[in-house]
């Protein structure tokens, strides 16, 4: 009986640690992909700040506000909306 409880405990422990490690690995891979896709470090930093503020921005933003923000981030791409 004790052996069964210990084995179930070990299985649960390994399952939880595996899940946590997969979440960390996914976040790390996403960050590396974002770094690779950016043109330079400045663009990467601006993108991270934009992603953090994205939820607040999209709740209150109108299409005109989105256009103005896109033109501030990349002035050479005027007249286009950012695509998520």
- pLDDT 10s digit of each residue in the chain, 84 long? 999 999 999 999 999 999 999 999 999 998 888 888 888 877 877 877 777 666 565 566 666 766 676 666 655 555 555 555
Please report the pLDDT score of residue 75 as a whole number.
54
Instruction: Report how many helices (DSSP H) and strands (DSSP E) the chain contains, helices first.
Output: 3, 0
pTM above 0.85, yes or no: no
What is the total count of domains within the chain?
Answer: 2
Any domain includes 20: yes
Any domain includes 83: no
Closest by alpha carbon to 67, among 55, 77, 56, 59? 77
Half-sphere CA count of 42, side-chain side, radius 13 A? 2
Q: Are 31 and 62 within one domain?
A: no
* Structural domain boundaries enclosing 64: 41-77
């Amino acid at each position: 009986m004790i052996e069964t409880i210990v084995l179930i405990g070990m299985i649960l422990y390994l399952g939880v640690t595996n899940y946590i490690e997969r979440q960390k690995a996914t976040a790390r891979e996403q960050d590396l992909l974002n770094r690779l896709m950016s043109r330079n470090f400045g663009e990467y930093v601006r993108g991270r700040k934009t992603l953090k503020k994205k939820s607040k921005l999209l709740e209150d933003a109108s299409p005109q506000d989105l256009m103005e923000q896109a033109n501030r981030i990349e002035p050479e791409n005027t007249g286009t909306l950012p695509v998520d």
